[in-house]
Chains A and B, each alone.
Chain A
């Protein structure tokens, strides 16, 4: 008769084995021995005397018995060695089970007189059913634990296949996708490309068979409902060689970790932003010192000369006039700096949108041309107004004083680059919803390389060094805050043409929605 080998379900624990003895096999002279991995008996009980093994007490060595080799050969999948002949002449079925820290042996009487007429195959079958039933009952405990941990376990077989051992949790089924009439594909490779990749990485660890653990690190899957499902996988080889893959849905820890990283990195970004801002401010400070120092040096020098007792009155007047020019220049610079920073800080500054109180672009342009005409003439440059002959107001969204500053900046910019004998024209057009103002000179125009950041703070404008970039930056931020636009293009004649599109102030319709 061939000897049937009855494999017990994987994961059978020692308490389960004891349960088996109590419940199903009491009539077969059960006895059991539990040893540690070194073979030292830690527990022994039942009818050991029936098998002539009553000297096997805790502390004794299992190697003294004839079936010791089988005990040490027990693997993670418990098995039954039927009808093993013992030293006292009796035969016993040996049920062997290994756990990470212990080896368990159950002895059940296999003598013919005990079996009676029942065929051994039948008994083996019944035994297997009993064991599976008990194992299923006992498995509820780890199953519940796995569920609480939001984890599933795959067993890694000798054939390299991964088999789901635990109950598939809802997120696993969601991940697999629900298909009517078809079971979901729950293999790791089918579930996720990341998991497929990790299983390939873990194959080496499983093949080595040494107790070890490899974690995948977190990854995130998107479930069919669009929610994100953070997961982590762990490949394990247990002390007894058991190989498994644990896939766990990450919850609180992951959220905490994410929040920590988010905070830390946001802080770094803020720090870097502040550092850059400080660098800009330092640059600005250098510019201010440089630009304010120039006029002041002239003024100080002139004042020193004025103290000379031999100075004639005409010369003194000249020095005073020069000092006054430089003092005003310095004042303009200070005003510009204040404008730039107040433009940034006072983002919510009020401006006029009502046509009745909004600044009149026509009046502003005409006044500027009139006021600046003499200073242009002194430099040998003609300043002309290029506007239709019309006296209607052109109210634009904005603030009168600041609009004047914007256009003055453009005018001064043009004067700096206009060659002697050339003309600077200031254009004004009514575009319906917009009012277009342009300032065009006949200078060299803007270097194409710097056009892109012409209106940025410290953009490499047409001037080198000093306050370069601040003026046009102020113009842009101011005009844009009013809903308008500002830009540069090359003039037809080759000079520079700066334009502003200002939003025309329209009468407010009380019934219309306001943005």
Chain B
């Protein structure tokens, strides 16, 4: 029997949350930036050994001064995927703020930080800074929704942790 788990995608705007979900769910990617307004939910079944897990992927709009993520959206989440744009260091600050808000709302749930757009050469988030986050307990993966690098791995890894919890 399949179990249903909710995952929220959290991060600043234009970091690639929707692209990551689309890459994972539909294996498609578009270079055109289309901002998300509100919430979009996608569903994906994942097979983990003998267990089938139905992931409800809550693709939340990006956090900025124009749109703030409602804490209530996070309730019921079994896992969180925080997304930063590797070419925009400031998006990591947004992630850290969202992480704190998530902790205040739903406590500690399995989470992974995705440093997206790793296919682009203009990297602003260097290894030292990411290593420091890993030392603090973060799981960090460099991903590319464009090439698919580490995308499947990120979702499956988080799912495995949620199921194990």
Contact = CB atoms under 8 A, between A and B. Distances in A.
B148 to A, nearest CB: 19
Interface in A206-262: 217-221, 230, 232, 254, 257-258, 261-262
Interface in A429-471: 453, 456
A194 B14 contact: no
Contacts of A266: 33, 35
Contact of A219 (B14, B38, B76): B38
B121 A272 contact: no
B67 A261 contact: yes
B64 interface: yes
B37 A194 contact: no
A265 B121 contact: no
B40 A217 contact: no
A456 B122 CA distance: 9
B35 A265 contact: yes
Contact of B37 (A218, A221, A268, A276): A218
Given A197-B76, A272-B88, A453-B121, A261 B39 contact: no
B76 A258 contact: no
Interface string B4-18: 001000000110000
Contacts of B121: 453, 456
Contacts of B37: 218, 220, 230, 254, 257-258, 261
A413 B79 CA distance: 51
Nearest to B37: A258
Contacts of B64: 265, 268
Task: Name the interface size band of chain B.
Answer: 20 to 34
A261 B66 contact: yes
A261 B40 contact: no
Nearest to B62: A265
B34 interface: yes
Given A261-B66, A265-B13, A276-B122, A201 B72 contact: yes
B88 A219 contact: no
A118 to B, nearest CB: 56
Nearest to A192: B41
A194 B39 contact: yes
B39 A220 contact: yes
B38 A220 contact: yes
B75 interface: yes
Nearest to B36: A220
A41 B35 CA distance: 55
Chain B contact surface mostly = loop
Contacts of B66: 261, 264-265
A220 B14 CA distance: 18
A266 B35 CA distance: 9
A446 B81 CA distance: 37
B41 A194 contact: yes
A218 B40 CA distance: 9
B67 A197 contact: no
B3 to A, nearest CB: 14
B56 interface: yes
Nearest to B43: A193
Nearest to B122: A276
Given A217-B70, A456-B121, A197 B75 contact: yes
Contacts of B14: 265, 269
A488 to B, nearest CB: 15
A194 B57 CA distance: 11
Nearest to A272: B88
Interface in B1-57: 6, 13-14, 33-35, 37-41, 56
A298 B72 CA distance: 68
A230 B35 contact: no
B35 A201 contact: no
Nearest to B76: A197
A201 B75 contact: yes
B38 A218 contact: yes
B124 to A, nearest CB: 8
Nearest to A263: B35
B39 A218 contact: yes
Interface string B114-129: 0000000110000000
Contacts of A258: 35, 37
A357 to B, nearest CB: 34
Nearest to B124: A276
Interface string A75-119: 000000000000000000000000000000000000000000000
Contacts of B39: 194, 217-220
A201 to B, nearest CB: 5
Contacts of B88: 272
A262 B34 contact: yes
Contacts of A254: 37
B109 to A, nearest CB: 16
Given A217-B70, A265-B13, 13 more contacts: A193-B41, A197-B75, A218-B38, A218-B39, A220-B39, A230-B37, A258-B35, A258-B37, A262-B35, A265-B35, A268-B64, A272-B88, A276-B122
26 contacts: A193-B6, A193-B41, A194-B41, A197-B76, A201-B75, A217-B39, A217-B70, A218-B37, A218-B38, A218-B39, A219-B39, A219-B40, A219-B41, A220-B37, A230-B37, A230-B38, A254-B37, A258-B37, A265-B13, A265-B33, A265-B62, A265-B64, A268-B64, A269-B14, A276-B122, A453-B121
Interface of B: 6, 13-14, 33-35, 37-41, 56, 62, 64, 66-67, 70, 72-73, 75-76, 88, 121-122
Q: Which 6 A/B pairs are nearest by Cβ-Cβ distance?
A: A218-B38, A219-B39, A219-B38, A258-B37, A220-B40, A262-B35
